[in-house]
Amino acid sequence: MNTDLAGKSLIVTGGAQGIGAAIAKTVAERGAHVVIADLKEEQGQEVAKLIGGTFVRADVSQRADVEAVVARAVDAHGGLDGIVNNAGITRFVDFFEIEDEHWDRIHEVNVRSMFLFTRAGARHMREHGGGAIVNISSMAAKGYRHTSSAAYATTKGGVLGLTRSSAMQLARYNIRVNAICPGIVITPLNAQWLADNPGYIEEIPLGRPCRPEHIAAVAAFLLSDQASVITGQSWNVDGGLVID
């Protein structure tokens, strides 16, 4: 059993399902103490129970909720070693049908939340020897032509900008910040989209989509000491769809 995260205190946002749940399970299997932050209480509680972790119901776009999650992790486990900013939303919508309210909300959840968690977490980490932050972006940030909407792609580009700038500014405190850009990942949220568009999988050079566990494995690596000299990078996990 890999125990490279043994004893580490970690937060996973959006950990109630999909990629977030896979990340929470993977890091827990490697010995981490996990706090899951999500609005989906029933599912979040189930994952937390499964992995022996803690669930906190939170709107990740709200500063008070974010700071409460960080405080819970610190109080429960004596510190905070890492954060996976995974929470995100999208909607499949044409450019001309994007409403102002949707634009604002997707930016709140997909970008603002990552800044709030990075800031709150880094304030603790800089006083306690450092830590690691992993932001879940998307191949949509790098030009994938079938992205769900311009609003979504814009937020994921913002995630990369936040990752790179915060990595440079937080490096002096031994805080590492990296991003993962998933490709087509099989989850309950996109099952219908893939069923309606089977040709999208055929475009993947490796010929198969990703599973949440593939993203989780990279996240676990970036949180571990094995990645101690890696920061400011974006990791494509997409079967070769985007080459950069």
Q: Which residues are catalytic?
A: 152
Could you tell me the sign of the dihedral formed by the alpha carbons of 140, 107, 71, 129, in that order? positive
**77, HSE (Cβ side, Cα atoms, 13 Å):** 22
d(CA 103, CA 89): 11
Structure token digits, residue 66:
């974010």
H or E segment and range at residue 214 = helix 212-223
- The residue among 182, 174, 179, 159 whose CA lies nearest residue 225 is 174
- The residue among 208, 207, 226 whose CA lies nearest residue 217 is 226
